[in-house]
């Protein structure tokens, strides 16, 4: 029995060791901050999500799509939780293509809650052509698509610096301390006071980075809070049931002669 638990512990250890699969390169250690959604009881900070949405819309959305989000997600539980009216109003700011109408023509109309977030470019090729050949990645699951996750994206946003002497940069390429290879095609997106927050929070670079990354974390994992909640209940339940079954087992086996 003891051996069994020892082995489970070893398995835990081994998996966490092997999760450091990505081999290290020359880039600096990542920056981090106190993410409210980390840990067993982590939740999203609603105000931060709403601010993050504002940063995304005003700063990032001109180049980065977030195509798997729908406008109704903005008012659903577990996210920024705008009211339904607010979400409808947000959606109505954007034009979507619909159709064909009865004449066979495509037409544009204001977006509804059921529409997906509008993309800045029609397709990947247009996005690349408009950005010097580099594709601004879609951000729906970007947090999950990068090793280092939220810390990585946070570090990139705050990692712009003057290049050290021995690095020369081509046109349209910038130095970033945390980017793989230290060169990034995106110019520094954030600067002090760039966004005027609706809730009056001071828009420092760190604040905007934290808010927009929180927003992206939610965009990638909209059910995180439900997952944590159900997970907690499931594990407590399993522990309780394990105890009950364990004692039932002992009781049952005590009927037969003690084994060697």
Partner 1 sequence: MSDQKKLKRRDFLFTASYAIGAVGVGAVVWPLVDQMNPDKSVKASASIEVDVSSIELGKSITVLWRGKPVFIKRRTQQEISEARAVKLEDLKHPEKDEDRAKDPEWLIMVGVCTHLGCVPLGNKGEYNGWFCPCHGSHYDTSGRVRKGPAPKNLEIPKYEFINNNTIKIG
Partner 2 sequence: MSAHNYVPSSKLGKWFNDRLPLLSLSSHIREYPTPKNLNYWWTFGGILTFCLVAQIVTGVILAMHYVAQADLAFESVEHIMRDVNYGWLIRYFHANGSSMFFLAVYIHIFRSMYYGSHKSPREVIWIIGMIIYFLMMMTAFMGYVLPWGQMSFWAATVITNLFSAVPFVGESITNWLWGGFAVGNPTLTRFYSLHYLLSFLIFGLVILHIWALHIPGNNNPIGIELKKPSKDTVPFHPYIVIKDLFALLIFLILFAFFVFYSPNLLGHPDNYIEANPMVTPNHIVPEWYLLPFYAILRSVPDKLFGVIAMFASVFVLVILPWLDTSKVKSAIFRPLYKQFYWILVLDVLILGYMGAMPAEGTYLLIARVATTYYFVHFLVILPVLGYKEKTLPVPLNITEPVLGGSPNPDMVKKKELYD
Catalog residues that contact partner 2 under the rule CB under 8 A: 1, 3-4, 7-8, 11-12, 14-15, 18-19, 21-23, 40, 68, 73, 137, 140-142, 144-147, 149, 180, 220, 222-223, 227-228, 230-232, 234-235, 238-239, 241-242, 245-246, 248-249, 252-253, 256-257, 259-260
Pick from partner 1, partner 2, none: which does 140 bind, CB < 5 to 8 A by kind? partner 2
* 248 part of the interface to partner 1, by CB under 8 A: yes
Q: How far is the CB of 116 from partner 1 (least distance, A)?
A: 9
CA 76 to chain centre: 17
* 251 part of the interface to partner 1, by CB under 8 A: yes
Closest among 112, 143, 138 to 224, alpha carbons compared? 143
Closest among 223, 237, 231 to 40, alpha carbons compared? 231
Q: How far is the CB of 22 from partner 2 (least distance, A)?
A: 8
| Burial class of residue 44 (count of CB atoms within 10 Å of its CB; 0-12, 13-18, 19+) | buried
Backbone angles phi, psi at 70, to 5 degrees: -110, 155
**Residue ranges in 93-122 that form contacts with partner 1 under rule CB under 8 A:** 113-114
Tokens of 49: 């999500």
Q: Which is nearer to partner 2, 108 or 248 (CB)?
A: 248
Collapsing DSSP to helix, strand or coil, 60 comes out as: helix
Closest among 146, 133, 135, 157 to 65, alpha carbons compared? 135
Beta-strand runs (E) in 72-222: 95-98, 107-110, 174-175, 183-184
Q: Which is nearer to partner 2, 96 or 145 (CB)?
A: 145
Which of 169, 226, 239, 245 touches partner 1 by CB under 8 A?
Answer: 245
Question: Residues in the site for partner 1, rule: CB under 8 A?
Answer: 70, 72, 76, 113-114, 234, 237-238, 240-241, 244-245, 247-248, 251
């Amino acid at each position: 029995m003891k051996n069994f638990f020892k082995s489970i512990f070893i398995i835990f250890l081994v998996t966490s060791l092997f999760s450091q699969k990505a081999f290290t390169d020359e880039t600096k250690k990542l920056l981090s901050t106190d993410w409210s959604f980390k840990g067993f009881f982590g939740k999203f900070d609603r105000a931060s999500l709403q601010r993050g949405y504002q940063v995304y819309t005003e700063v990032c959305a001109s180049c980065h799509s977030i195509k798997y989000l729908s406008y109704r997600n903005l008012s659903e539980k577990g996210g920024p939780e705008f009211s339904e009216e607010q979400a409808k109003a947000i959606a109505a700011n954007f034009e979507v293509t619909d159709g064909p109408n009865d004449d066979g023509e495509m037409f544009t109309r204001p977006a509804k809650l059921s529409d997906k977030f509008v993309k800045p470019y029609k397709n990947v090729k247009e996005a690349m052509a408009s950005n010097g050949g580099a594709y601004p990645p879609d951000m729906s699951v970007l947090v999950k698509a990068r090793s280092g996750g939220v810390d990585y994206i946070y570090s990139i946003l705050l990692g712009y610096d003057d290049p050290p002497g021995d690095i020369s940069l081509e046109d349209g390429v910038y130095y970033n301390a945390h980017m793989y290879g230290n060169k990034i095609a995106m110019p520094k997106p954030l600067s002090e006071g760039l966004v005027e927050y609706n809730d009056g929070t001071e828009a420092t670079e760190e604040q905007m980075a934290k808010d927009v990354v929180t927003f992206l974390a939610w965009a990638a994992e909209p059910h995180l809070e439900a997952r944590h909640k159900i997970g907690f209940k499931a594990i407590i339940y399993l522990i309780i049931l394990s105890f009950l079954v364990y004692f039932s087992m002992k009781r049952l086996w005590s009927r037969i002669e003690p084994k060697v």
